Structure 1
Amino acid sequence: MKFAVIGGTGLIGSQVVKKLNAAGHEAVPHSMSTGVDVITGQGLEEAVAEADVVVNLTNSPTFDDASPAFFRTSMDNLLAACRKGGVGHVVVLSIVGTDQVPGLVYYQAKALQEDILKAGRIPYSIVRATQFMEFMDAVLSWTTDGETVRLPATPIQPIAAKDVSDTVADVALGTPLNGTLEVGGPDVFTLDELGRITLEAHPDGRTVVTDDTAGMFAAVPGDVLTTKGDARIAPTHYADWLS
């Protein structure tokens, strides 16, 4: 099979390409660096031409009010190119709980991306993943003030990027779900607890203070960022990933 992986040079995309090629398929990475621009449409038709499956791993460059326009334009352009090229399956990576966090515009934008895909008249699959372990350092930096990190007690189910990539590749190789698969890590922590575990493993002088008003995750209600029901549970534990 031939795969076009849009956003195929990033953290997840590069691993998806590697896995698909190792399985004997032809997976080609596409991104701005290879001349493909999902906003202007430059190179997009050529990128998806003759592809059996298109995997969309592009992301908005910001989490702010500009993100809905990014996902609307990029999806409209991508689906138009896929219809023209006769693509039979489009896979998109999204976020667990994205439609349940009205206080975060970025999550609203990801829900919009899903809705556009569902209405796009091409067989599709949506993979919703929990928060990446690799992003924990960034999360800590967002609310650091001197030697204090303020974090809310929001339930988080961290997953390793490798496990996300494995799931995306597996879904891309399969029959279109015309629905959603959730995947999350094997353990649930509160975000403040996860911050303390991270800094205990790699101390840098900072300490974590619980503050349910701090940072973007303060807007998350309840446990909506954790998997429910028939989700896939990935194998990598956070403690093993840290070590």
Structure 2
Amino acid sequence: MAVPAAAQTPQRVVTLNLCLDQMALRLAAPGQLVGVSYLSQDPHLSVLADRAAGLAAVRHSVESILVLRPDLVILGADGHASLKRLLRGAGVRLLELPWAASIGEAELVIEQMATVLGREEAGRHLISGMREQRRRLTWTGPPLGTAVYLEANHGTSGKGSLMDELLRLSGYRNLAAELGIGSFGRVSLETVLSGEPDLLVLDGAANENPARATEFVGHHALLALAGKAKLASVPSRYSICAGPDNFEVLRLLAEARR
């Protein structure tokens, strides 16, 4: 990707992806970011919902974007081909960035975004802070056993997922990965119980509005297992996107193992 000249530094930026929103909200200069995806204003999904509330909420429609008169739109490299074609046709510059599935990949995306925004120093500062937190919070002792992450609809995160990385950094083997489950999969209650994990990691907000889809994470059998295993409540907003928010997961898991 070519580095733009200083004269090309964008003044009115729109982001169209929850994870890219979170990065831009931290990197952009005051007044530089004028619109973010509507998802970033949902406090269940976005750690920076309060900050995002002061900006225009954008959906994937060319009309909602062009009304903001952006000189740069930042969006994911995959998908939305028709929207991208319309925006290019309207003369809007695009920055397409890849999905970051790990903390290391998030650092690369932050670096690219910061360069295009003309905010290289802010990018270096953000990445430096992430590396320091990773150094400080990574478990360096002997393995602590197995852990499993559970969310609504029997969902779990297996091999190659961001949660898999976070569990390993916290000193745990991921039960779902050991069972051969991929990045995003499903696991039965019986499988969890028979696996006898040492740590249960539950979506801390899953049962705020109880429904059949979420009853799994509060099942009485899991609560009985919690008498033998440690329990960590981790709101999903800290692990949806790879980036600075992931270190809150490491802090919560560190508290659970005490």
Fold shared by both chains (TM-score > 0.5): no
TM range (shorter): 0.3 to 0.5
| TM-score, structure 2 as length reference | 0.36
Larger Rg: 2
